[in-house]
Amino acid sequence: MVITANPFIDATRIHHLSNRRPTRGRYVLYLMQQSQRTRFNHALEYAVQRANDESLPLLTVTGLMEGYPEATWRHYHFMMEGLCDVQKNLKVRDIGFSILPGVPAEVALGLSDDAALIVCDRGYLRHQRSWRLKIAASSPCPVVEVESDAVVPVECASAKREYAARTIRPKIERLLDRYLVGLAPTPVKVPFPPALLPKGAIDPSKGVPDHFNVDRSVAPVSRFKGGEDEAQEKLAHFVSEILPRYASLRNKPEENAISEISPYLHFGQLSPLDAALAASHGGASCPEDVAVFLEELIVRRELAINYAWFEPDYDTFEAAAPAWAQETLAARGMQKDLYTKEELTACKTNDPYWNAAMAEMVHTGFMHNYMRMYWGKKILEWSHDAKEAFETALYLNNRYFLDGRDPNSYAGVGWTFGLHDRAWPQQPGFGKVRSMKASGLKRKCNIEGYVKRVEELVNKQPPVARPQ
C-alpha cells in the first residue's frame, strides 16, 4: 500500500446540513467539538479551505458547557489540557480560537450572524447529533459537517446496523485503500485579526472555572495528560517500543503491551487515521502486529461507531442484548454473591483480580483492555438481574474511565451481554452469554503480576490540585 498525504478531503466525509444560500460574513466559523485537535482534522482543514476560498479568516470555537452528559471533573480536566494544545497550535497557523461558556450549539448560533459558513465535526452520540441539527435548523448561513473521527466514514462502511465484526470487516477492508490517506495542513491565506475574537473566552490553562457546575467528586488523574502533543508521544512510544510484540502480549495484562491511546481517541485529541498510518509506516518489520492493531483500531472501533450511529437506543440493555441473551439471562435464577454499586466502587468484592481492575479504573481512569472484559462479566454475575448489571456497568464505565461516554463504551459494555457476539453453551449465572472466570485468568496470564502492577500504579497517582 502506498500511503500519501495531501490537502484534499474525500467528498464522502462532507455533509451539507442545510441548504441556506451563502452569506457575506466576517469569518468562517468552525465549531470544534468532537475532533479537538489540529493534526489530521478534516473538519479543520475543510474550514481553512473554505475560508481561503472566501478570502476570510477562520474562527474556531469550542463550547464549554456545564453538566455535559455524565462528565466529571476528571473528564473536563483532561479536555482542558487538550484545548491548551489546540490554542497553541492554532495560533501558530493564524487561526482564531476561543473557548466560550455554553452548549456547543448555542455557542455556534450566537456567532452565526457574523459567519459566512459554519463547519462542524461529526459526533456519533445522540446529543452530539442533536446539536448539529439544531445549528443547521437555526443558522442564517450554510452549515457543513465533516467527518474526521473514523477512518472509513460511518455511512460509507455500512448503511445499517451491523451485528458482528465478521459482517462489517469486509465492508471496511475493501475501502481502506481509499481512506488510508494522510491529510496535509492547508496554509491559511487570511490571518485571524485578534480584534474579532469573541468576548468572555475561557482560558484553558486555568482549568475548569470554579463556578462551573461540574461533578468534582471524581478527581483528575496524573497517569494521563490530555492533549494532542501528549497523544503524539504516546503513539510514537507505542509504535517504536510496543507494536513489535503487540500481537503476542496484548491480552496479558501484567505486561501492559497496549497503546493506551483510547482517551485521546475519545476526546478527538488523536486521529484514528493518524494512528493507523503511524502503525503502518512504523511496523513494516512486524506486519502481523500491525494487522492485529488495525483490527482493533479500525474494525472493532468502527463497529462500535456503527452501533451508536444506527441504533437509537444504544445506551439501553434492550438494544444491546440480543433476544437469545435476554431470554437465557432472565431464566438464570438468583445469584449467590451480590454487590451494591457502592461496594463495587470501593473494590470490596471477594475477587482480588476484579478489585485490582476496579482500582485501576477508579484511581487512574483506565483499565487494561483484557481486564475490561472480565470486569463486565463479573458485574453481570454479581447483579440481581441483567438489566441492573448493564446499568451498573455503564454507569461505572462512563463515570471513571477517561475514554468513557464513547461509542466504544456502549458497544463494550453491550458485549458483556451478548452484543456483537454469538450464543455459547449454557453456563450458570450467564445463560448463553459468554462467561469469563478467574480460573481462565490464571491459566492465560500472570494475573498476580497484574495485581502487583496496579498496586504500583495506584501508589504513583498523587492527587491533581486545582489550578490557582
In the chain the domains, ranked by start, together with CATH numbers, are 5-150 (3.40.50.620), 317-454 (1.10.579.10)
- Mean pLDDT (the chain) is 96
pLDDT in the model for residue 466: 52
Give the β-pairing of 143-146 and 115-121. parallel
Q: What is the pLDDT of residues 358-386, one digit of tens each?
A: 999 999 999 999 999 999 999 999 999 99
CA torsion angle for 436, 440, 442, 444 (degrees, to 10)? -120
Q: What H or E segment, with its residue span, contains residue 296?
A: none
Q: List the grid coordinates of 140.
A: 442564517
Q: What is the pLDDT of residues 181-231, one digit of tens each?
A: 999 999 999 999 999 999 999 999 999 999 999 999 999 999 999 999 999
The whole-number average pLDDT for the span 172-184 is: 97
- Work out the pLDDT band at 461, boundaries 50, 70, 90: confident
pTM: 0.97
* Burial (Cβ within 10 Å: 0-12, 13-18, ≥19) of residue 167: middle
Q: What is the pLDDT of residues 77-133, one digit of tens each?
A: 999 999 999 999 999 999 999 999 999 999 999 999 999 999 999 999 999 999 999
- Work out the pLDDT band at 468, boundaries 50, 70, 90: very low
pLDDT in the model for residue 61: 99
The whole-number average pLDDT for the span 412-439 is: 97
Print burial letters for 94-123: b (CB count within 10 Å at least 16), e (below 16): ebbbbbbbbbbbbbbbebbebbbbbbbbbb
Question: Above 60 in pLDDT, residue 263?
Answer: yes
pLDDT in the model for residue 467: 43
Q: What is the pLDDT of residues 316-369, one digit of tens each?
A: 999 999 999 999 999 987 778 899 999 999 999 999 999 999 999 999 999 999
Scan for cell 496524573, then name that residue: 222
